Structure 1
């Protein structure tokens, strides 16, 4: 949001640098490509950020998938997997300070919705006094119970692209993994990221002036729908998202965030083992959530 605008859909803008501007191809191989770009951003408080962006997108082999996830892959599985290695550097002359706002690296995986798709995010159990709320479901209004089911150590969220809603899991609760299952297509989707120390917290992306701007979430999921009465959905789509810590960078310093995405198709027998190993949830539990 630009300085002086309202926290409303009509004033929301995606900066051109991450929307329409071209990036330079720095290196390229048969399985990877690295892009670079420099930009200047201005936040709601009027603070300026001179930043360098480097992003490497790499296809992952089945051997790499098995090693990264720590699982054995059955011969009947079909897999498409990729890694994005994202870096933001302070290329200006001034340090980025919490009191004037900070950037973070926020990766949004956007997927095709369906009536048979359910998001699953496992999280750490524990008292709210120590770990905070299990789930933040207040981004765009409370999510009704026919779209969100919260248990002691996991949540289920519809990914049907028909009702707008967003939720988040805090870094204190995050296990570094999220997933979804399309029961009609028999596709299990897994997203992981590099969990790291966050001395300056996580950027809070709620659409409001905030008392705690660095108590944001590490994992988010969004289900698309009408953003305003009478408006069509943006996609439709649903998302699995991860964020880096807030980047309080001095000139020349860099923040790195790595997200890996795994799309796995196969029999429910094979997918069930993976789902239980990775998400602590059976395929039957996912299908029965709603």
Structure 2
């Protein structure tokens, strides 16, 4: 296996950044990311070794592993320290993260977004509205005017420290929102593998026998390093973590919710209302297809959301869970709807996205599906910091072992998940 020293990584960061800055941007009409990757009824999944070798040919990689070598994750410093992929069974285990091989192979960059993939990437909100960081001041809220800030798309994060099971990245930058307010911010991102004891504790499991597991925690911190306080009336930022995973016809996104919460259970209007055959709301749980065949997004408010969401791939016997630290108080969340908003701090705390064609006849970005969580809106005074912590778990096993775990953690049985859209 290719091993990269810290010195080599730092040199690699500088070299790759220089290459990126000198490349001509691709015409948006010829986007290499929008390949017609059809999702079939039988999917061949790559191994961790396959994806790791591929990634190392294009970008420096920091690899973390446990003592056994079975739990492994691959991190990309040049891509904001994102978790590109992971494995619960070492090199020969399934690779869980979706990776956009075509975009890497093109050695090019695009205008609106560079969807390199990765099962947990660092982003910030809000995406839409008068305090958006994705739209220029005065621009109409449509896809032609939507641009991912370079900070969370192409710019590398510096390596602060790294060990066998943990890496810390950092970045200082500035951003200007739709209303013209400029943020000066420091970012720190820590990625740490979780031990078996950590997994049992976080998921409240007595045993991991009969299971293959890998899990990691990311601790993400924003610091106001400017002289001006961040205030609601000029716009606030949030930490937004998004995981891109491989879709399949047998993957169902599962989001438990508080039935006693106020307001609609789900916001499904981000990209037009989600069809009824793709979104099912039952008592205490939401089912959403993760097949990569139809573009749609849903979100749950802090009144409805619990601290965990997940997906289940019945073909692979794979349960993926994303758990985050909820604040103890009544927090406000930025609103990312693509419109001037009456309530800019009435946003969602958890989201799920299923990729597909933006318009009939067009090609998808992936396809992939996403599980997402956000921090509250961060009203930070000069010098203050705020953060967001998230954990991702992959649990493989047969139905007899996974079934009780699925029911205990997400409140639904395997058969109910399989029959959700029948």
* Same fold (TM > 0.5): yes
Q: Secondary structure at the match of 2:412?
A: coil
2:365 pairs, out of 214, 218, 234, with: 234
Matched pairs, number: 287
Q: Secondary structure at the match of 1:71?
A: coil
Instruction: Kindly indicate whether the alpha-carbon contact (under 8 Å) linking 1:168 and 1:220 is maintained by their aligned counterparts in 2.
Output: yes
In 1, Cα distance between equivalents of 2:331 and 2:234: 13
Instruction: Kindly indicate whether the alpha-carbon contact (under 8 Å) linking 1:119 and 1:158 is maintained by their aligned counterparts in 2.
Output: yes
1:194 is aligned to 325
2:226 is aligned to 92
Q: Tell me, yes or no, if structure 1 residue 62 matches structure 2 residue 190.
A: no
Instruction: Kindly indicate whether the alpha-carbon contact (under 8 Å) linking 1:74 and 1:270 is maintained by their aligned counterparts in 2.
Output: no
Instruction: Kindly indicate whether the alpha-carbon contact (under 8 Å) linking 2:158 and 2:169 is maintained by their aligned counterparts in 1.
Output: yes
Residue 50 of structure 1 and its aligned partner are, at CA, apart by 0.4
Could you list the runs of 5+ residues in structure 1 that have no partner in the other structure?
none
Matches for 1:38-49 after TM superposition, within 5 Å: 38-49=172-183
Q: Secondary structure at the match of 1:269?
A: helix
1:260 pairs, out of 383, 391, 405, with: 391
In 2, Cα distance between equivalents of 1:2 and 1:212: 20
Instruction: Kindly indicate whether the alpha-carbon contact (under 8 Å) linking 2:216 and 2:392 is maintained by their aligned counterparts in 1.
Output: yes
Instruction: Kindly indicate whether the alpha-carbon contact (under 8 Å) linking 1:89 and 1:252 is maintained by their aligned counterparts in 2.
Output: yes
Partner deviation per Cα, 1:176-219 (whole Å, 9 max, x = no partner)? 11010001111001110000046661001111111111000111
1:19 is aligned to 153
In 2, Cα distance between equivalents of 1:173 and 1:10: 32
Q: Secondary structure at the match of 2:168?
A: strand
Structure with the higher strand share, 1 or 2: 1
User: TM-score by structure 1 length?
Assistant: 0.96
1:103 is aligned to 237
Q: Tell me, yes or no, if structure 1 residue 224 matches structure 2 residue 358.
A: no
1:211 pairs, out of 338, 342, 354, with: 342
Could you list the runs of 5+ residues in structure 2 that have no partner in the other structure?
1-134
Partner deviation per Cα, 1:19-43 (whole Å, 9 max, x = no partner)? 1111111111101100000110111
Structure with the higher helix share, 1 or 2: 2
User: TM-score by structure 2 length?
Assistant: 0.67
2:418 is aligned to 287
Instruction: Kindly indicate whether the alpha-carbon contact (under 8 Å) linking 1:49 and 1:90 is maintained by their aligned counterparts in 2.
Output: yes
Larger Rg: 1 or 2? Answer: 2
Structure 1 residue runs of 4+, over 4 Å off?
A: 197-200
Residue 2 of structure 1 and its aligned partner are, at CA, apart by 1.4
Instruction: Kindly indicate whether the alpha-carbon contact (under 8 Å) linking 2:238 and 2:377 is maintained by their aligned counterparts in 1.
Output: yes
In 1, Cα distance between equivalents of 2:336 and 2:328: 19
> Taking CA–CA contacts closer than 8 Å with sequence separation of 6 or more, which of the two structures ends up with the larger relative contact order?
1
In 2, Cα distance between equivalents of 1:209 and 1:229: 27
Q: Tell me, yes or no, if structure 1 residue 165 matches structure 2 residue 299.
A: no
Q: Secondary structure at the match of 2:409?
A: helix
Instruction: Kindly indicate whether the alpha-carbon contact (under 8 Å) linking 1:198 and 1:245 is maintained by their aligned counterparts in 2.
Output: no
Instruction: Kindly indicate whether the alpha-carbon contact (under 8 Å) linking 1:9 and 1:227 is maintained by their aligned counterparts in 2.
Output: no
Aligned residues: CA RMSD: 1.2
